[in-house]
Amino acid sequence: MYISSRLALLALILFYSAFIRCAPTPVDLVETADLEARTASIASVNGRLFRIDDKTQHFAGLIPYHAPDGAVDRSQMAATGYKVIRVWGFGTTNNPSASYGVYYQVLNSTGQYFNYNPSNGIARLDYAVAAAEKYGIKIILVLLNNWDALGGINTYTNVYGGTHNGFYTNAAAQAAYKNYIKFIVTRYKHSTAVFSWELCNEPRCPGCDTAIITKWAADTSAYIKSLDATHLVSLGDDGWFAPASSSYLPNNDGSYAYSGYEGVDFEKNLAIRTLDFGTVHMYADQWGYNYSWGSTWIAQHNAVGKKLGKPVLLEEYAVPDGVDRVAIARPWQETVLHKTSIAGDLMWQFGTQFPSGTKPLDHYAVYWDTSDLRVLGNRHVSEMAGKKAVATL
């Protein structure tokens, strides 16, 4: 999902910066050992499905945009029955004195710093991980953002030079990014709440040869595996197809999603040995497609997953407010349930109405205890949990 700068400021508290330079003994650091889960097990791949807490299963999940900020009620997510959620593990600023809310890293001309302030630093992510452990929820932890909100790729190129597209081959930017990866992965690598480490939210390189992101994904995922060989690793892409590898797919009309314009080749990326599963996002209304096309998009990615023998996760899908969400999204869920072996799906995004009125203001948000959530959330969770765990389609 494209995350606007406006959204990044919502529901966040303004703090002036307090950070320390990377040091052997950081202050206010919650010990990693305290974050280790007590009873659950680490998720793994079983054929084209996932084994979660010693059970091979399909699942439904959701994305809470503001999870580390406390702007969603985690007990509500757990009560809905969601198995897996997606949480932002990135948060970079170039200017801490002008930053709003939570950030984990500072990049500027003086160096690279990690924020250990308990009020707006890494302790907030510690809390999100600990809460996931408490409620038995797995989290996909995203390590970078393609978009500017909450500190994306451009916070690296602002310091190390070049353009957004050049980030993937910028040696200095990649060294800093890998340093951040090491910071996050080593901090949580013993937590069974982590479902996967995810390289980037919707990586794109418009107009580039798709080989650029494929090589970057191979190199970066191999680096993560060198730090933690146990947890799963995913790319986090939209699932764009490229002409060279997708011409065989039914209903491939060569339009935007199949053109390779965004510099991503879903099939070649899924074939990377150190990526454990494929990710697909779907925003038909933003991309210029009819809502009915969504089922085609899902089925096409299922076909590639079947060809390569890897799980595929419909990692983001959404319908904006102001329309009949159930009528539009249920056919997509029915496709996942009955016509594919898609391992799981996550709807964007979960919203909480607090007594104070605080909520993430997003026109895609689906709120607790509404008719939309009861059908697209509670019912679908039950359906996916009850689906026979054999990938035959």
**Which SS3 state, helix, strand or coil, does residue 35 take?**
helix
Neighbours of 139 (CB within 10 A): 26
Which of 242, 246, 249, 314 is CA-nearest to residue 284?
A: 314
Active site residue 202: yes
Angle (CA) 54-56-57 rounded to 5° is 125
Q: Are the CB atoms for 351 and 344 separated by under 8 Å?
A: no
Reading the block at residue 20, the tokens are: 């320390």
Of 133, 198, 267, 316, the catalytic one is 316
Of 133, 202, 262, 315, the catalytic one is 202
Beta strands in 203-336 (DSSP E): 232-234, 278-282, 312-317
Question: What stretch of H or E contains 38?
Answer: none
Reading the block at residue 258, the tokens are: 């199949």
Angle (CA) 29-146-36 rounded to 5° is 30
What's the distance, CA 112 to chain centroid?
24
Active site residue 31: no
| DSSP state string for 315-380 | EEE---TTS-HHHHHHHHHHHHHHT----EEEEE-EE---TT------TT-EETTSHHHIIIIIIH
* Rounded Cα gap, residues 159 and 155, in angstroms: 7
| Catalytic positions, written as ranges | 202, 316
